[in-house]
Chain A
Amino acid sequence: MSPYSGKQDPMEFDPPVRILVTVMVLALAIISLLVFTTTGLYGALDDALTRGALRLGLGFSVGAVLVLVMLMVVSVSALSVRRLKAVLYLSTALFIPSALYFSHIDPFMIMGFPNDLSHLGSSLPDMIVFLNGAAIVCGLIFLRSYHQIRTLGTSLIRRGASLDDVIIATRSNLGANLMTIIISLVIVTIIQVVIELLSDTGFTADIPLLAAITLALASLLAISFLLQIGSGRSAPETDGGWEESGDRIP
């Protein structure tokens, strides 16, 4: 069984890292929530719900209450490592309206819905919305690494490894992962900034330019990705079926 398979519930062997991860995920959820409150969708929802509440004689912003409730749910969920991923998915859901605003093809409009994607946009600068999305993607990658490392660490401790050894190794590993994620984010952000400078259109680039950039980048990265898979992934030297050592009587 792979140590990453996580059949057993991983134990909490490094509380400071756990707290740090929780804080990061919570911060991400709060940022997504704040970005969501600047979108047209939130405005429309708030209007509709507040009007409904007024009819019932309640004179306050239902949207604000919803935000508070959501914050509470997110905070409670973050207490469990298993639900951290759910919190990130919730952040993704909150981010979707802002992201869809940048679509050139509007399926809602094509299907004849009364409100199209142009109503969903955030009032915040494009780069902030992009960074919010980037943070969510990075968070998902990091959370996956964290879960893997936690499972591995637990398995090693159960096998008899010293806690100090495991903590040092897993923290270093998480650090390396985080560094790689940050570098990836910086690279993509630089690419975005360069595109903006070259085309002066940013995320609202025309379809031909967008298609050209997309195709070029995707091809380039896909090729390097395939090359790296070929060179980086190596077959195990043994199949893991080590011989059992034991007593031998002369």
Chain B
Amino acid sequence: MTTEFSSFAVLMVTGIFLANMLLVMLSLIPLTFVVMALAHSAPGDIHLSRGKARKVTGINESIHLGTGMEVNDGMGIVVLSDTLPRRLVLEGGSVLRVFWKGRGELKEDMDYSIKCTRGGSHIVGRSRVESFHFSGLVQTIYTSGDRDTEVLVKHSTTDLRDVRDPRLSRRVTMPVNSISRINAPSTDFKEIREYTVGDDFRNINWKATVRTGGLEKDTLLVNDFEREGTRRVWLFMDCGRVMASGPSVRDAYEYALQATLGLARFYLSRECEVGLYMYHHGRYILPDSGHRQESLITNLLLASEMEPDRETLERSVRGMGGHIAGTNPLFIVITRLNAEGARELKDGIRQMRLISGKRSKIVIMHVGGGDEPAASSTERMAERITELRLLPVISELRRSGSRLITWDPAEQDFKELVTSILAGRSS
């Protein structure tokens, strides 16, 4: 408004001072312009409409979002925009549209599709509208919609329960039954021993007692059965910075989540007790079995985030020592190997053996993929060099007695990995 008003004022004052009719008349032009421009207001009476308040999708899947806008009043430029959370990537359309609101009513839509790269609940904030008066003489008016949209992104999971490959049930690495003295006896015969107070009368082996002359010696023999032991699996998932590998839309962390959830479901379906520890994140779920446990693990993974490195694997295992000791579980560590993290991993493995004994099985799943595919020969060569740098780490880990499985998600489906490598060969 300054320019218009100052030119009006200068011309008018000069015109009056010099008694100059021409200047006075010219001064009326900016004044008339201002009056006429202000006869119209900035675009207003705006109504925004958005679809569902909650949308559910999976990782790397696209969903459509949109906002309808109706502007009934004013004249000028209208800017309609949405702000996407960091983790949602715009795939098609635009989250910022610019429209001209003339004399008539303006009805427009803003449609776009987004891809979700990280699980969890993401909030797409309310749509915003900026109304600019066509002359620029009036302040910009800001309006926003009345509700947010929640985009719930579910982790992609591999349900190993529906794998029909017979090798899976026969040869997949399973935890050893732990020794239990208090659980109920199973039907597996263990031995014949002398009766002790508290033994069930039904277990007295009369034939053996008579044959050995026990009746004469007042000694009864009883059949003893194996006690039902628990088969326990501990999943240790790395949530440190090493998992945020490469510039890929989907990094190693997402694949690790997928693997963890797939393994947890698989072992739970095989009547194992599954515990989860997310090291560097510090959150855990103690071993248990059943659907409730599956649900707890799913929720924990859904809410998980990568964290700065603050808790080593060794420290995490030590922290869980009380729950691990005496159970002889199967440990599965899901991580991304690198030369720097090898020492930490070895310390963790040592701690596992220290607490649970030398017989415990340890599997290390190395999530090897996730980076952008190499485009040039130089990049491919760099990739190879990186892989070669890992060789000493891998052989060192093998020497420690653990089993190493390398999973390159870009080249291999998780089901394939389980049915081939996990069920037989280790790489």
Using CB atoms and an 8 Å cutoff, list the residues of chain A in contact with chain B. Answer: 2-4, 99-100, 102-107, 126, 129-130, 133-134, 137-138, 140-141, 144-145, 148-149, 152, 156, 159-162, 165-166, 168-170, 172-173, 176-177, 180-181, 183-185, 187-188, 191-192, 202-205, 207, 210-211, 213-214, 217-218, 221-222, 224-225, 228-229, 231-240, 242-250
Contact = CB atoms under 8 A, between A and B. Distances in A.
A173 B18 contact: no
Interface residues of B, number: 78
A177 B21 contact: no
A247 B86 contact: yes
Contact of A165 (B7, B11, B84, B99): B99
A242 B29 contact: no
Contact of B121 (A173, A185, A248): A248
A145 B22 CA distance: 25
B139 A236 contact: yes
A169 B132 CA distance: 11
Given A232-B40, A233-B38, 10 more contacts: A99-B22, A105-B17, A160-B94, A173-B100, A173-B132, A184-B32, A202-B21, A221-B35, A234-B44, A247-B87
A192 to B, nearest CB: 5
Contact of A184 (B19, B36, B141): B36
Interface in B12-37: 12, 15-26, 28-37
B36 A183 contact: yes
Nearest to B20: A103
Nearest to A224: B35
B32 A221 contact: yes
B23 A161 contact: no
A184 B139 contact: no
Contact of A152 (B77, B97, B99): B77
Given A161-B79, A247-B85, A188 B36 contact: no
Contact of A102 (B21, B39, B40): B21
B302 to A, nearest CB: 7
A161 B135 contact: no
A141 B18 contact: no
Interface in B44-74: 44
